[in-house]
Amino acid sequence: MYKYIDIHSHVNFSAFDADRDVVMKRAEENDTIVINVGTQIDTSKKSVELANKYAEGVYAIIGLHPIHTGASYHDVKELGEGGKEFTSRGEILDKDAYRELLKDPKVVGIGECGLDYYRCDEESIAKQKEAFVAQIELANEFNKPLMLHIRNGSAKVHPAINGTPQEGNLNAYFDVLDLLKKHAKVKGDVHFFAGGLQEAKAFLDFGFTLSFTGVITFTHDYDEVIRNTPLDMIMTETDSPYVTPAPYRGKRNEPSYVKEVVKKIAEIKNLPESEVAFAIMQNAKRVFGLHF
């Protein structure tokens, strides 16, 4: 009997090359369902392969991360040491390549896609928007939910829009919402929710669930948002190998730690842990159309 679900994990990344099967087995032993998420065509293919290695309890989401629409990004945990040949040279979304993957019944969503204003300029924002809209169209075509990646920018790191250095924060949440309102016929989930009450309300009103990571185990920044998110609109994830929850800080993150996120949500909402775990599983079944 599955009790927990990690709706956003990257066991498909190179950080797990040495012990991927052991990590997946530990998830199974901890009654945890895993959805591995792609970030470009290679990691998307890998997530589908991984899902098909197991008879049950493992699914895939495929798509192009906004960061990989640009050429400069390389993360060793994602693509490996000396994996330069796999570094995205600025992937232009090939709809047919992703359509091929979408035929697989283990693929339960599209993403992670959206807008990342953390490191960007005018040109990269235009590319990100184009790739995001293309993925919304694919989601409409296949009637699959969207796994959204949204990150705000700060004045310190992003240079210029229309040639003018930006003052203050650049909010990606409302730009994503505008594009969804214009194009999307499907709903989905806001992965790694990092907005405030206003952003939370806007996405919840639009019918998107919010998912939380291990970050909530070591900061109180999201307590208020979690208190205000109805139990039937909340999800849990690890975003492994990143953001390891307490008490495992300092170690590589993995799906079996998702129970720490459930425990914290139960604590914040002052509800029994079993009730919260059950509700989250129902939410995931509903949003991603899982049958088991």
With CB under 5 A, what is the number of residues at the site for Zn ion?
A: 1
**68 token code pair:** 């990989």
Smallest gap from residue 239 Cβ to Zn ion (A): 5
- CB-nearer residue toward Zn ion: 173 or 266: 173
- CB-nearer residue toward Zn ion: 62 or 266: 62
Q: What angle do CA 245, 48, 11 make, to 5 degrees?
A: 25
- CB-nearer residue toward Zn ion: 80 or 159: 80
Q: What angle do CA 284, 60, 153 make, to 5 degrees?
A: 80
**Which residue carries 């949500």 as its tokens?**
265
- CB-nearer residue toward Zn ion: 61 or 139: 61
Question: Among 177, 173, 275, 292, which residue's Cα sits nearest to residue 232?
Answer: 275
How many other CB atoms are found less than 10 A from the CB of residue 160?
10
Smallest gap from residue 65 Cβ to Zn ion (A): 7
How many other CB atoms are found less than 10 A from the CB of residue 274?
11
> Are 217 and 265 within 8 A, CB to CB?
no
Using CB under 5 A, which residues numbered 194 to 253 contact Zn ion?
A: 239
3-state secondary structure of 25: helix
- CB-nearer residue toward Zn ion: 171 or 213: 213
Here's the x/- map for Zn ion, 167-186, by CB under 5 A: it reads as --------------------
Here's the x/- map for Zn ion, 120-139, by CB under 5 A: it reads as --------------------
Does 241 sit behind a cis peptide bond, omega within 30 degrees of 0 on the bond before it?
yes
Smallest gap from residue 165 Cβ to Zn ion (A): 29
Smallest gap from residue 149 Cβ to Zn ion (A): 7
Q: Give the interface with Zn ion as residue ranges (CB under 5 A).
A: 239
